[in-house]
Amino acid sequence: MSIFELFSRNKEERSANVAKERLQVIVAHERRARNAPSYLPAMQNEILAVIRKYVEIDNDQLQVDLNDDGNCSVLEVNVNLPK
Amino acid sequence: MATIIVVTSGKGGVGKTTTSAAVSMGLAQAGHKTVVIDFDIGLRNLDIIMNCERRVVFDFVNVIQGDASLNQALIKDKRCDKLFILPASQTRDKDALTKDGVQQVLNQLKQDFEFIICDSPAGIEHGAQMALYFADKAIVVTNPEVSSVRDSDRILGILQSKSYRAENNMPPVDEHLLITRFDPARVIKGEMLSIADIEDILAVKLLGVIPESQAVLNASNNGTPVILDEKSDAGQAYQDTVARLLGDDRPHRFTEAQKKGFLQRVFGG
Ligand SMILES: Nc1ncnc2c1ncn2[C@@H]1O[C@H](COP(=O)(O)OP(=O)(O)OP(=O)(O)O)[C@@H](O)[C@H]1O
Ligand SMILES: [Mg+2]
């Protein structure tokens, strides 16, 4: 790292770290989606429509995951409502 | 017993064809009779990298459709008599590949060859699925970049669920990670994913690391697989990669940045 870079560094996080964090989230999500039943996207869409009857939310404020922990599956629905 | 190795990635332009050419040449030079098949129907490239484009008469699709025999379509490499190339068709589309057709050709090749290298097209659709379907081993080519790593993970998912081995409850495809176009100086600066990051996310054993190298472009300009450029960093990294495929335990090279002089460190460059 040169003295020129020293000053511009650290203000913004190193982009490789950002890349790794984004990848961990994307990959974990896609691995779950891969094993999920095919009705999940449609169901997610309907849940979104129901919520939107009452509050306006963005696609990424709803998280629907099906987690398999051995003897039963857990459907996890997370909704982030705007303040 | 022949081994079928697919070179795959999901994302385009990451180095599959470069790798297929280098690995097949390396295996052949080590004395193993090897054939490399171009699965990129409609966009063939391998013949250019192997410098045999003017010798192509019949192609993979001609053989599948019974218009030519395998022997008529196979091209013997002029530099190494253990290496053969089965070129892709330039005029058809990927749907010309059928599971049955591919299987028949592979079964015939298995009689004669020790290694069958399948150079996959980009994507995760039909062409890529045909290239990986019958594989025993997979070399997953990945660049240190978000979209490439993500696509590699998707290809790994397909290998684990939609390959012949997966569908027939056989031992899984043996997966290997090959990181290409790696630039250690940029990793130090925090601009590029590190080897450890990628291994961590994909959880596949590391076969090799090929540095970003001018030698690759030179090699493709000349129509020589870069592994024949024995003085180059990329050529040596591919030599190591082939040796590891054959069971040799070699340390990874070209993974650390060159040490910089004091002035360079202070003033950059
Ligand atoms: N280690 C490397 N250093 C520098 N350039 C490279 C390296 N590996 C590949 N390239 C370059 O990247 C480009 C794409 O390489 P290549 O054709 O092997 O990729 P591919 O994965 O087969 O692409 P496609 O998905 O289109 O089939 C080429 O121009 C090649 O010269
Ligand atoms: Mg290619």
Regarding whether A65 and A51 lie in a shared domain, the answer is yes
Instruction: Give the rounded percent of residues in chain B with a pLDDT score beyond 70.
Output: 96
Name which residue sits closest to atom 11 of ligand 1, judged by CA: B15
Same structural domain for residues A43 and A81? yes
Residue of chain A with shortest Cα separation from B191:
A16
> Is the same domain home to A57 and A73?
yes
- From A32, A25, A63, A59, select the one nearest B146 (Cα to Cα): A25
Q: Are residues B207 and B137 in contact, defined by beta-carbon separation less than 8 angstroms?
A: no
The ipTM assigned to this model is 0.79
Residue B234 CA, ligand 1 centroid: distance in Å: 12
Name the residue ranges covered by the structural domains of chain B.
3-248
Residue of B102, B117, B103, B106 lying closest to B33 (CA atoms): B117
Our mutation pick for probing the ligand 1 site, out of B18, B118, B148, B241, counting the most ligand atoms within 8 A of Cβ, is: B18
User: pLDDT per residue over B65-84, tens digit each?
Assistant: 999 999 999 999 999 999 99
Ligand 1 atom nearest the C-alpha of B11 is 25
Whether residue A83 sits in one domain with residue A45? yes
Which of A15, A20, A29 to probe by mutation at the B interface, max B CB count within 10 Å?
Answer: A20
For the stretch B207-251, pLDDT in tens is 999 999 999 999 999 999 999 999 999 999 999 999 999 999 999
Residues A65 and A42 in one domain: yes
Per-residue pLDDT at B194 exceeds 70: yes
- Among B217, B225, B215, smallest CA distance to B51 is for B225
Answer yes or no: do A46 and A68 share one domain: yes
Structural domains of chain A, count: 2
Quick check: A12 contacting B, CB < 8 Å?
no
For A10-47, what is each residue's pLDDT tens digit?
545 689 999 999 999 999 988 888 878 888 889 999 99
Span A41-61, mean pLDDT? Answer: 92
Question: Of all protein residues, whose CA lies closest to atom 25 belonging to ligand 1?
Answer: B12
Chain-wide mean pLDDT for chain B? 94
Same domain, yes or no: A21 and A56: no
- Looking at the structure, tell me whether residues A53 and A74 fall in a common domain: yes
Question: CA–CA separation, B179 vs B175, rounded Å?
Answer: 13
DSSP string, chain B: --EEEEEE-SSTTSSHHHHHHHHHHHHHHTT--EEEEE--TTS--HHHHTT-GGG--S-HHHHHTTSS-HHHH-EE-SS-TTEEEEPPPSSS-GGG--HHHHHHHHHHHHHH-SEEEEEPPSSSSHHHHHHHHT-SEEEEEE-SSHHHHHHHHHHHHHHHHSSHHHHTTPSPPEEEEEEEEE-HHHHHTT-S--HHHHHHHH---EEEEEE--HHHHHHHHHT--GGG-TTSHHHHHHHHHHHHHTT------S-SPPPPPHHHHHH--
pTM above 0.95, yes or no: no
Domain B3-248 homologous superfamily, CATH: P-loop containing nucleotide triphosphate hydrolases (3.40.50.300)
| Residue B116: per-residue pLDDT | 98
Tens digit of each residue's pLDDT (9 = 90 or more) over B108-151: 999 999 999 999 999 999 999 999 999 999 999 999 999 999 99
Atom of ligand 1 nearest to the CA of B181: 1
pLDDT of residue B263: 63
Residues A31, A45, single domain; the answer is: no
Output the six-digit token pair for B266: 């202070």
Domain that holds residue A49: 38-83
Give the best residue of B146, B148, B158, B187 to mutate against chain A (max A CB count within 10 A): B146
